[in-house]
Amino acid sequence: MELRCERDVLVEALATAGRATASRGGSLPVLGGVRAQLEGDRLFLTGTDLDLTIADAITVAGLEDGVAVLPGRLTVDIVRALEPGAVHLNTSGEEAKIASGRSQFSVRLLPADDFPRLADAATEEVTLDAAGLADALRQVVRAASHDDARPILTGVLMAAEGDGLRLVATDSYRLALRDLRGASVLSEGQSVLVPSRALGELTRLLSGADTVTLRLGQRDATFEIGDTRLTTRLIEGEFPNYRQLISGSQANQLTIGREPLLDAIRRVRLLARESTPVRLSLRSDGVELSAVMQDVGQAQEDLDAKYEGAELVIAFNPEYLADGIEALAGDEVSFEIIDALKRVVLRSPESEDYLYLLMPVRVS
């Protein structure tokens, strides 16, 4: 295989496919590589760890067709370090030569025959608005768990809801829910559980795109954005029953400016490290934020707010609280509160499509 390509184009495509490679390769070292296949002037690059696959295609100056598996991270680092301009890539036998200007590199290839054969994507497809999906993923994926000991909670539930699509994620301490109205992806009653890692990578790929094509198979989901394709294995299992958590009425309600509250949390959390909670003291004329670290100090800040309900003190993990507020749209945020120990629902008064549920922290 032999080709020439502009450095920036090549490094971006290599890095995109490389994000799906296995970090250590495990028992299959070839999974740490990026498969490169040249057909005429089209270079197809693929990375996979068997659970997640990302494939990208770019136009190059093709000199000789061929297939090779390049060491993923090393190749990206080499091409990125070259001077701007054309890069010459030539593979022969067990070696790849990378050259640009006066720089020349030689790296050992991985066995192309060992690279896994990937299944074809499902034929049925639906087209979604890329910006709308990216916005929904930004709001929801943050609430998914990163603990592989509970794989169900590392996924995002995609379920048919009314005339649209509902996305839900939870790590058992918080829950995020977003409705995409009019996005008819699944049939009534159908749902799938998509790994949050894959959706995080998808969010990167959606930047600047107009549309995304979704293909759902029995065990995997494929998202196509232009010349880039992301395929992920679905998670098997039953997602927790979240509906009982978001139903019911709350006796106390706080409405407060979103940006002033975020700024205050950022200041107060300077003394809320090492899992120290931020306390909200709620009263009719406003709210006081405070944090106390033994042997270090304390922080307090008063904010104007509208509060209806009994005076109480409620505490939260400051990172989780800030995450939920950042995800909300609009100028204000509404807290629907039962008491100091039961789940709190955060919403934007300007939108009914998103909610963020957060469990308080018990404090003395």
For residue range 61-78, list pLDDT tens digits in order: 999 999 999 999 999 999
Query: 279 or 25: whose pLDDT is higher?
Result: 279
CA separation for the pair 221, 233 (Å, rounded): 7
pLDDT of residue 351: 87
CA 156 from centre of chain? 10
Q: How far is CA 331 from CA 150, 159, 261, 335, 360, in A?
A: 36, 29, 11, 14, 23
The gap between the terminal CA atoms of the chain, to the nearest Å, is 68
Residue 25 has pLDDT above 60, yes or no: no
- For 243, the 3-state DSSP assignment is helix
Closest by Cα among 117, 8, 10, 100 to 62: 10
State the average pLDDT for the chain.
93
For residue range 168-223, list pLDDT tens digits in order: 999 999 999 999 887 777 777 788 999 999 999 999 999 989 999 999 888 999 99
For residue range 341-359, list pLDDT tens digits in order: 999 999 999 988 999 999 9
For residue range 208-240, list pLDDT tens digits in order: 899 999 998 889 999 999 999 999 999 999 999
Listed range (33-42, 85-94, 113-122) with the worst mean pLDDT: 113-122
Residue 26 has pLDDT above 70, yes or no: no
Contacts of 250 (CB under 8 A, 6+ apart): 336, 337, 338, 344, 345
The helix (run of H) or strand (run of E) holding residue 257 is strand 252-257
For residue range 251-261, list pLDDT tens digits in order: 899 999 999 99
CA separation for the pair 331, 228 (Å, rounded): 36
Average pLDDT of the segment spanning 323-346? 94
Contacts of 308 (CB under 8 A, 6+ apart): 252, 253, 284
| Band of residue 274 on the pLDDT scale cut at 50, 70, 90 | low
Angle (nearest 5°) at CA 108 between 107 and 110: 130
Average pLDDT of the segment spanning 283-299? 90
pLDDT of residue 185: 73
pTM value is 0.90
Residue 273 has pLDDT above 80, yes or no: no
CA separation for the pair 269, 298 (Å, rounded): 10
Residue 27 has pLDDT above 80, yes or no: no
Contact status, residue 283 vs residue 303, Cβ threshold 8 Å: no
pLDDT of residue 164: 85
Q: Which domains does the chain have, with CATH numbers?
A: 2-114 (3.10.150.10), 126-244 (3.10.150.10), 248-358 (3.10.150.10)
**Amino acid identity for residue 300 in this structure:** Q
Contact status, residue 87 vs residue 99, Cβ threshold 8 Å: yes
Residue 133 has pLDDT above 60, yes or no: yes
> In degrees to the nearest 10, what's the CA dihedral of 230, 233, 237, 242?
-10
pLDDT of residue 24: 65
CA separation for the pair 281, 1 (Å, rounded): 67
Percent of the chain residues topping a pLDDT of 90? 79
pLDDT of residue 126: 87
CA separation for the pair 317, 12 (Å, rounded): 37
| Band of residue 123 on the pLDDT scale cut at 50, 70, 90 | confident
